Amino acid sequence: MKQNVVIWVTAMFLLSLALAGQAARAGTVQLRLAHANAPTEDSMYQVVGLKYKELVEKYSNGEMTVAIFPSGQLGGEEELVSYAKEGSIDFAVASLNQVSNHAPGLEALFLPYMFPDTESMYRTLDGTADYFNEYLPRRANMRIAGYITGGDYGYRQVLSLQPVKNLADLRRLKVRVPANPVMTATFQAFGITPTPIAWGELFNALQTGVVDAFECDVSVLVSARYNEVVKYVTDINYVAQISLLVMSNDTYGRLSPAHKKAIDQATGELNRHMRGKGEEISKQAATVSVKVRFLGKPDDFPEWEKAGRSTWPKFYGRIGDGNEAAGKELVDKVFAASRGK
């Protein structure tokens, strides 16, 4: 099986190279965009890819084309971000926590309970855009080509096999948490020891009882079929589900001024489009998951907030690239933006 996967990934790279060669002969610039989600209409990553393809080709008058590689054909999220950083692919769509592994300053955007509501999140993304658009290329050789959020439905919640109505309920469960320092520390502050499981193995782990719960946004109930196994959703709202469309800075640097302008125009329009579309997809996922019970906020929600925010000082040094004062200053900047200050 592993050998077949290697053969498939190699074939996709060869295909992309062939497409690039054809495009070059035709006088166009062929770009490759990859993500790890299914190529369905309820997958935000696929929707982002298709919309960006449309916009890039529109604003470049067909002089640039975008080939989309979904379903992890070229690798998982972690690999795709690394490929974009190295310039092996042109675009990758991935969760913010995957990108921040290469640029820890971005973790200021998903410290637990940073955003009390959707408006504060959007206000912050707008207010800090210039800073992070300069920071990411310098720190990780990538550019932000788009933000993807689920609006009011776009927080990361607890999805479980047993009801979670308070912290005591959570502490009785085995919970899968992504291998990200902020997320791990947050759930440790909640009083549990997170179970690290690869995303591709999680569905089976729930079915077999290896874990009882995980944290994610509700769009995966449909896009990844988790409504077939998940029984409950608890609105802990601990971080906003923000994903990024990142572009290789090497790719951007090779483009002509006209093509860079087309990329910038596509990015601006994509962000406006996805604010409504992301919420629509997440809301629909919740609506059609009729067998899943939505429990609302925990009875002791203030205790979750207090525990989550207690972790912030642990990450000042990491967010500031080793400088705690600089990290705290950035966190304060993000917090101020979220409160409209």
Q: Give the pLDDT score at 26.
A: 52
Other beta carbons less than 10 A from residue 86's beta carbon: 12
Q: Map tokens 């925010």 to a residue.
A: 309
Q: Which ranges constitute the DSSP H helices of 199-254? A: 199-208, 220-223, 249-254
Burial label for 138, CB within 10 Å (0-12, 13-18, 19+), is exposed
Place domain 2-150+241-283 in its CATH homologous superfamily: Bacterial extracellular solute-binding protein, family 7 (3.40.190.170)
Tally Cβ neighbours within 10 Å of residue 54: 15
Are 143 and 249 in contact, with CB atoms under 8 Å apart? yes
pLDDT confidence band for 199 (50 / 70 / 90): confident
Joined together, the tokens standing for residue 10 give: 């190699």
* pLDDT for the residue 318: 96
Give the predicted TM-score (pTM) of the model: 0.85
- Give the tokens for residue 263: 């990329």
Tokens 């990329």 correspond to what residue? 263
64-94 residue pLDDT tens: 999 999 999 999 999 999 999 999 999 999 9
Q: What is the pLDDT of residues 301-340, one digit of tens each?
A: 999 999 999 999 999 999 999 999 999 999 999 999 999 9
List 239's β-bridge partners, or say none: 156
Whether residue 194 is predicted with pLDDT greater than 90 in this model: the reply is yes
Question: CATH topology of 2-150+241-283 equal to that of 155-240+288-311?
Answer: yes
Mean per-residue pLDDT for 268-273? Answer: 92
**What integer pLDDT is reported at residue 1 of this predicted model?**
44
Q: Where are the domains of the chain?
A: 2-150+241-283, 155-240+288-311
Burial of 39: CB neighbours in 10 Å, binned 0-12, 13-18, 19+: middle
Give the per-residue pLDDT at 277.
85
pLDDT band at 289 (very low <50, low <70, confident <90, very high): very high
182 vs 121: CA distance, rounded Å: 18
Question: What share of the chain has pLDDT > 90, as a percent?
Answer: 77
The CATH number assigned to the domain with range 155-240+288-311 reads 3.40.190.170
